[in-house]
Amino acid sequence: MSIHTSSDSQIGRFQIEAEIGRGGMGVVYRAIDPSLGRPVAVKLLAPHLDADQTAQRRFQAEATAVARLKHPHIATVYEFGDHQGHPYIVFEWAEGRTLRSLIEADGRLPLARALKIFAQIAQALDYAHQRGVIHRDLKPANIMIGPGDEVTIIDFGLARMASAANVTVSTAFFGTPRYSSPEQIQGAELDGRSDLYSAAVVLYELLAGMPPFDDPSLPALIHKQLNVAPPLISEQRPDLPIAVERALARALAKQPAERFARLSDLAEALGAASLAASLAAKPAGSARRLWLAAVGGLTMLGLLVALVPTLAPRPATDQPPTEAALVADVPAPISPPAHDGLWPMGAGGPARRRELPTPLEPLVTTPRWSHNPRTSDLGPMVAGLGQVYFRARWSSLRAIDWASGESAWEAELDSGIIGTPALLVSEEQALLFAALDGPRLVALDAASGEQIWLSPEGELEGQISADLVLGENGLLYAISEAGQLSCLDPWSGAVNWQIDLSSAGQFYSAPAVTAEAIFLTSSDDSLLAVSADDGTLLWEAALLGTSNDGPLIDPGRNLVLVGTNEGRLHAFFADSGAPSWVAVAEGGIAGLAADADQIYATTYDGAAYAWSAEDGDRRWSLDAEGPISAPPLADGAHVLVATEAGELRFIDAASGVEDEAARLSFQSPLTLPAIAGGGWLFVQSGFIYGFGP
């Protein structure tokens, strides 16, 4: 029985055009969002499940989980709601055909094309896993292939927050047995290695034209998944390198502990095999791409997602390529970055304004250096003391010299790193803080990477879900997804106080901090202010939509500003929570920045806006001609807008006109914000690049 009928042509505000698919969890329609004129995918809970409270909770968990994911290879969630008693969720409409259709039309794929598709899948899944989301139903039918083999993963229909504390996880089996891991079939607790198994099955099918296991009998198929070793890929493709066969065999191991830990590890193993095969087949002297001077050290993700068209042979030397290479034919910088420059937190400071203290000098549009991290697990950066710090792998922090891009140190930690680190600098010592999976916090000596303290197990409740923030009072603040706000002494790690805010919902965005208060946004569409002294709740205000970026402080006007996924920019008075003004953007707001006079926003639909900080009057808007995931950056003279097309645009703050001569272009999407330090700009796009004046 169908939920939608010809007489029911609308779900919420969305005008239904056609039913495009259905599965065990729901029915999917193509629809039009009349307010923006764009196509969307609307999914309704299946009729036989909508009376099942467990299914409805699962559907709500899906919507909340996927709404947090902002990645170029994952279909964006716009909103969710209820239609005549049926929950629904609205996704980005992904153009193209499914990977299932591609396989049926083209059969087995060449290794290079298969790995290019797989690299994008790996990037997206690693990103989701780092945020506690498991897909649980990865298969060719849930992977869209657009022009140029661009991948979009759709229907995280069985995604479950791995860290959710308020949902009872059923041991019932959900998924597609042909692609499901053995532990998923057995109803065991899952982690990202289950998705890794499914992705390996998909890659096997891309290369062989068939999955490793298939049988018309469901019991027989399940028996094979649980008990039978997968046939070697060489039985179908004897032309493939032996390293590809070994990597696939490991990824398809029955026991999760025997597989790769992350998709990026599998991609690197596959990439090494592909690179070796390509180099063996290429004549010496093949052209190399300008920015990729040390191509021998490229990871598969960096190699394929960046779409490098040619591969250079390894240098004829016994010395390995350096991690950072100065770009050929680029003049030496006039001067290195100023040593006293500082970008100590993800949004620049506790007020989260993403504002540079002085305008950037005109930058040379070719990078002074590039750093090859040799991983796809890159996390957001902070900078200070002549170094740039970032998560280099799932459980390691790295520091690089910001004048050369050379590695300074790398610290391997006990568990995965969540969010952006925070840097505290004093005359005596500088500390680098990170939130770990567990949950725990760690402090390292910023100069050496040596561990200073590690919070005890059980001291924090719930997974830390957002960037750490250092207040102007010298204290460290951390918010967990479950709503526990902790205030710690940064030098010892001792907890000063903790407060439970779980009654206000879940928390996914970093707080903004002043000397008097801490401001937080919750999943219940609210903004909270608590005392910076003891965590006492001061006030709470309602928002029109959910904030994915968190609040921003305008101290001169005593305002707290929040952008929402409904395209609203709220301004509240910081001392009382009373509304000051509301502005409107056409599309969900990805992030905010501010200078002395204006508030800036980027939207997921690809626009940039400027409003008067005084009254919310719109000054200008700009169409960036493509999606945007990263928040803007302001320096008083310009607004820097990073696009998923791989462009960093410099917009005149007063007029909204782009300085096209200053535009920086990259081979990979820009999904993380650029940061500044010492008059230089640091950008992540597969590699890390340093731009100087």
The domain spans of the chain are 10-92, 97-305, 324-691
Task: Give the C-alpha separation, 623 to 632, whole Å.
Answer: 14
CATH number of the structural domain 10-92: 3.30.200.20
Look up residue 68 and give its two tokens.
């947090």
Task: Give the C-alpha separation, 392 to 390, whole Å.
Answer: 6
Query: Residues with Cβ < 8 Å from 327, sequence gap 6 or more?
Result: 290, 291, 293, 366, 367, 368, 369, 370
For residue 493, give Cα distances in angstroms to 250, 441, 459: 40, 8, 11
Query: Residues with Cβ < 8 Å from 111, sequence gap 6 or more?
Result: 207, 240, 244, 274, 277
pLDDT value of residue 418 = 84
- In the chain, helix, strand, coil percent, each to 5? 20, 30, 50
Q: Which of 50, 137, 155, 549 is catalytic?
A: 137
Question: pLDDT under 70 in the chain at which residues?
Answer: 1-8, 23-26, 46-65, 157-175, 271-340, 376-377
Look up residue 502 and give its two tokens.
């779980």
pLDDT value of residue 328 = 32
pLDDT value of residue 337 = 66
Confirm if 591 and 564 have CB atoms less than 8 A apart. no
DSSP 236-247: T-TTS-HHHHHH
pLDDT value of residue 359 = 87
Question: What homologous superfamily is domain 324-691 in, according to CATH?
Answer: YVTN repeat-like/Quinoprotein amine dehydrogenase (2.130.10.10)
Confirm if 27 and 41 have CB atoms less than 8 A apart. no
HSE-CB for 375 with a 13 A CA cutoff: 16
- Concerning whether 137 is annotated as a catalytic residue, the answer is yes
For residue 299, give Cα distances in angstroms to 175, 372, 523: 31, 9, 37
Confirm if 597 and 77 have CB atoms less than 8 A apart. no
Note the maximum CA span of the chain.
73
CA-based end-to-end distance of the chain: 65
HSE-CB for 585 with a 13 A CA cutoff: 35
3-state SS class at 302: helix
The pTM of the whole model exceeds 0.95: no
Fold of 97-305: Transferase(Phosphotransferase); domain 1 (1.10.510)
pLDDT value of residue 46 = 59
